[in-house]
Chains A and B, each alone.
Chain A
Amino acid sequence: MSARARDVAAPALLFVALIGLWEVAAQTGVLADVLLTEQGAGGGGDAEFLVPAPSDIADALWNDRDLLAEDAWVTLREVVLGFALALVSGLALAVLIHLSKTTRRAVYPLLVASQTIPIVVLAPILVVWFGFGIFPKLLIIALICFFPITVNAYDGLRSVDPDLLKMMRTLGAGRGQTLRRAELPWALPFIFSGAKIAVAVAVIGAVFAEWAGADSGLGHLILVSSGELSTSLTFAAIVVLSAIAICLFALLALVERRVVTWKEGPSS
């Protein structure tokens, strides 16, 4: 078996084993028994609404595919647009605090403070202000996403080899040229790191945003289905949500491999 095949086989086997274990535990009612005994309610028996087996979730995925696809599209749109908003504003902010010491001093504490705002509390307020439309959702997703993007991009911009900056100066590069031709490309691996973190948490942001007030989307579906004890559907929605995050992450990683073809900065 080649090293590459082993790399793929090991996690796949573990995944299948865990799913299998779960399936058996759920089908035999062991999981439900344990959970209900914990709560002092005696045996649970065949409680699909409590612990759906992977096969139940697969059923839900198939049977409710139209509903899931519709809601997935809504959430995907929110995530992609919110992430894009965060990318643009996060990069702009990173460049701004990189270029101006005064801006950096003024903005950086606020930047950190913005991350201490409990999104769960903020989300309903934004819905009150801006309604049930997509806008408050974009704001919440962007608020979660822009921090890792800004911090990573700024770290990248200021980590540029000082000798490289000297070289650009001797070649007559102006401030803007140095930024565009040396600092931003140098920071690209950092920017991609920030973006990959951001896109993974963006999905959580979308769920919070939809919980605060929405009539569609996977977060909304999770809320409604769990309220109706359609636990299989809840889990199915979570599976789709994870799939969205994984796909977006993989897409970014792919773009990164295409764009960043170098290992490190200028050597020797």
Chain B
Amino acid sequence: MLSTTGAPESEPLDVSGKAGPPVSIRGLLHAFGDLLALDGIDLEVPGAGVLGIVGPSGCGKSTLLEVASGLLEPSAGRVSVGEAADAPSRTPAGERLARCALMPQRDLLLPWLAAIDNAALGPSLAGASREAARERARADFNRLGLGGFELAKPQELSGGMRQRVAFLRTLISGKQVLLLDEPFASLDAITRAETQAWLAGVLAQDSHTVLLVTHDVEEALYLSDRVAVLTARPARVAATLDVPEPRSPDRAAAVTAADFVELRERALRLLAGGAR
């Protein structure tokens, strides 16, 4: 379904020496009224790095991304996006909004726009003409297996296709930091694996900094340089796991490598609240 044209899927993930805004979160606390959602989160993502975030459902992962994106101001703590890595300062919410693209769990496609116009919403809002905006989306449309559905309305697409359109909307929004909230949750296993491989290629190719929230440990480990495991609400960072480099270019080989499997077991034990 996914063609490999142009996407260097065969390259191992290697983020060294690439520019990209770093993200630094320190002592982040957020409460909704009396309900404490985030309880002192510390996370560091180097420029162009990919941080996976896994945690039990309802632990506050989505809140964490909303805070990072600038939609929410945290109750306490410091969030910096794209500030000098050696002395990161607090980034105001407006600046965070300008630097981050958030892909929410719901696809939120506009039912009155064709699929490609939904994907190209970012450039279009930035002032690009409809044709220019569509041009930005067209190549990736094919690569994501959406070729031929450019002019389909969202309600004519399957759940998986809708999610891919929403992902594309985030990717080409022109922001350097991608905050992905369960981006592939509604894809079937095969499409999901293919899309992960495609994303790994995209991330290796460019300099996006990514925070990837998922409940799928394998997905987090495969796509990320480092994975933070959160506790149940209120969320704290239980552990941060470094994913060994380099990974095999072949996804199937990568996720069955001995060290990968071992890491996955460790992450799952941490999620279950067991011993480290």
Contacts and interface: CB of A to CB of B under 8 A. Distances in A.
Interface of A: 161, 163-164, 166-173, 177, 181-182, 185, 188, 261-268
A172 B98 contact: yes
B110 A166 contact: no
B97 interface: yes
A191 to B, nearest CB: 13
A268 B186 contact: yes
Interface stretch (B74-82, B153-161, B205-213): B153-161
16 contacts: A163-B106, A167-B104, A170-B71, A170-B173, A171-B121, A172-B173, A177-B125, A181-B110, A181-B121, A261-B111, A261-B112, A262-B111, A262-B112, A266-B111, A267-B155, A268-B159
Given A170-B100, A170-B101, A171-B169, 16 more contacts: A166-B66, A166-B71, A168-B125, A169-B97, A170-B97, A171-B121, A171-B122, A181-B110, A181-B121, A261-B111, A262-B112, A262-B155, A266-B110, A266-B154, A267-B155, A268-B159
Kindly name the residue among A170, A181, A263, A268 whose own CB sees the greatest number of chain B CB atoms within 10 A. Answer: A170
Given A167-B104, A171-B101, A185 B110 contact: yes
A154 to B, nearest CB: 20
Contacts of A170: 69-71, 97, 100-102, 173
A170 B112 CA distance: 20
Contacts of A161: 108
Nearest to B109: A266
B153 A262 contact: yes
Interface string B155-190: 100010010000001000100000000000010000
B153 A261 contact: yes
B125 A263 contact: no
Interface in B114-133: 121-122, 125-126
Contacts of A168: 125
Interface string B126-159: 1000000000000000000000000001110001
Contacts of A261: 111-112, 153
A133 B220 CA distance: 73
Contacts of A264: 111
B107 interface: yes
A261 to B, nearest CB: 7
A172 to B, nearest CB: 6
Nearest to B112: A185
Contact of B155 (A169, A171, A185, A263): A263
B126 A265 contact: no
Contacts of B102: 166-167, 170
B71 A268 contact: no
B155 A173 contact: no
A268 B168 CA distance: 17
A73 B226 CA distance: 75
**Most chain-B Cβ atoms within 10 A of its Cβ — which of A169, A172, A265?**
A172
Contacts of B162: 268
Contacts of B70: 170
A263 B126 CA distance: 28
Given A262-B155, A263-B155, A167 B100 contact: no
A159 to B, nearest CB: 14
Given A262-B153, A266-B154, A268-B162, A169 B71 contact: yes
Contact of A268 (B66, B69, B107, B121): B107
Interface in B228-253: none
Contacts of A185: 110, 112
Contacts of B169: 171
A266 B121 contact: no
A265 B121 contact: no
